[in-house]
Amino acid sequence: MKALKERILNDGRCLPGGVLKVDNFINHQMDPLLMKLMAEEFVRRFAGTNITKILTVEASGIAPAIMVGYLLGLPVVFAKKSKPSTMENMLVSEVFSFTKNRTYTICVSKDFLSPCDKVLFVDDFLANGNAGKGIIDLVQQAGAELVGMGFLIEKSFQKGGEMLREAGIHVESLAIIDSLDDCSIKFKE
Ligand code: 5GP
């Protein structure tokens, strides 16, 4: 998606270890107009897919997910990263975080993810696909159906995209980065 790629080139910053910092328009300060354009692009790319619910992980996925949910008129659920003591009936999975180098728990209430749901997962980044794997686990535990996964930015030099597509999942990424070597951002054509 041209507008996102241009913004990444203008405002994105490379950090050591293949990390892209997009704190001024996605991960800290957010640009709602770009968020809306990106959500519209997801709606186009998943047109014809029967979706009943948008699922994401707190916190960075919430903004794009709610935009997609708003445009489609669908509920948005975010997986929580710690198990609230007040919630029962939780589905729980473990995720290894590439940026934080530690494992954390994600959980969703069974009240909000059930066998009748057809789920579109939306998140900011796809790297090694660990968050994606955790989501697949939660959706399977719920007996729901995963109909697709949409990412704002995919880093194709990490293995998540390959792994999810080989598993037969409909994956859409709005900007695919082939390399961040030498702090130069190279997109897939
Ligand atoms: P994965 O689970 O696919 O290995 O990594 C995706 C998650 O890690 C995303 O939800 C995102 O929060 C974080 N992440 C992975 N790579 C990057 C990156 O280059 N930049 C930022 N800002 N977050 C990343």
Domain boundaries, given as residue ranges, for the chain = 2-187
Mean pLDDT, rounded, of the chain: 96
For the stretch 27-42, pLDDT in tens is 999 999 999 999 999 9
**Residue 122: its pLDDT value, please?**
98
Pocket of ligand 1 (CB under 6 A): 19-22, 27, 60, 98-99, 123-132, 160
If one residue of 11, 78, 98 were mutated to test the ligand 1 pocket, choosing by the most ligand atoms within 8 A of its CB, it would be 98
Token reading at 149: 């996964």
Instruction: Please give the full DSSP string across 57-82, using - where no structure is assigned.
Output: ETTTTHHHHHHHHHHHT--EEEEBSS
pLDDT band at 87 (very low <50, low <70, confident <90, very high): low
Closest Cα to atom 11 of ligand 1: 125
From 94, 169, 160, select the one nearest 127 (Cα to Cα).
160
**Residue 61: its pLDDT value, please?**
97
Token reading at 15: 């950090």
Token reading at 60: 């960075």
**Residue 99: its pLDDT value, please?**
81
For the stretch 170-179, pLDDT in tens is 999 999 999 9
Atom of ligand 1 lying closest to residue 20 CA: 19
Closest Cα to atom 24 of ligand 1: 125
Token reading at 165: 């597509």
Domain 2-187 bears CATH identifier 3.40.50.2020: yes
